[in-house]
Amino acid sequence: MPQRVNFAQQSPELFKKFLAFSNALSKSAIEEKILDLVSIRASQINGCGFCLDMHFKQTKIHGENELRLDHISNWRESTLFTPRERAALAWTEILTKLPEHGVPDDIYDLVRGQLSEKEISDLTFAVISVNGWDRINVGFKTEAGRLTRRSD
């Protein structure tokens, strides 16, 4: 199925600014390995095939273990993730799903026990970024396995 709208072409300035925002996350207080896990988990929840394809490829390039990748969707039951990674995944899920009554204190306390205030803030921006890209690519049915280029 063809992409509905070429968002990069139709909104080039917004696309460039959102891309710059997302790229700035590489300089955040959150390590690349956690950013990769967070990106995959949010995209799994949002059902973004394009983003999942891209994030899995990037994560493998970054050296992530194949078994851990297979366990991201069931990270709570898996023994392959550190407490810090678990906290980041919990934060990602709660912000991606946003419960009706907000983020429960027990989730925040779990995250606060593993990450500094700066890290929580940076992680929140990372979750915002991946959720934004997921919504764009799901809404416009961007084809998985295809990279968006300015010339598309």
pTM score, two decimals? 0.91
Structural domain includes residue 26: yes
Q: Is 1 helix (H, G, I), strand (E, B) or coil?
A: coil
Q: What CATH number does residue 134 fall under? A: 1.20.1290.10
Note down the domain range covering 116: 12-74+81-139
Q: What is the pLDDT of residue 147?
A: 53
Structural domain includes residue 149: no
The whole-angstrom separation of Cα 28 and Cα 12 is 25
Structural domain includes residue 62: yes
Mean pLDDT of 8-18: 96
Structural domain includes residue 97: yes
Whether pLDDT at 151 is above 60 = no
Instruction: Give 43-61 pLDDT, tens digit per residue.
Output: 999 999 999 999 999 999 9
Q: What is the pLDDT of residue 3?
A: 72
Structural domain includes residue 127: yes
- List, in order, residues 6 or more apart from 55 with CB less than 8 Å away: 36, 39, 40, 43
Number of structural domains (the chain) is 1
Instruction: Give 87-132 pLDDT, tens digit per residue.
Output: 999 999 999 999 999 999 999 999 999 999 999 999 999 999 999 9
Whether pLDDT at 148 is above 80 = no
Structural domain includes residue 99: yes
Instruction: Read off the pLDDT band of 150 (50, 70, 90).
Output: very low
Structural domain includes residue 21: yes
Structural domain includes residue 152: no
Taking phi first (over 0 means left), then psi (-120 to 50 degrees means alpha), and beta for anything else, what does residue 7 get? alpha
Mean pLDDT of 14-32: 96
Q: What is the pLDDT of residue 25?
A: 95
Q: What is the pLDDT of residue 152?
A: 34
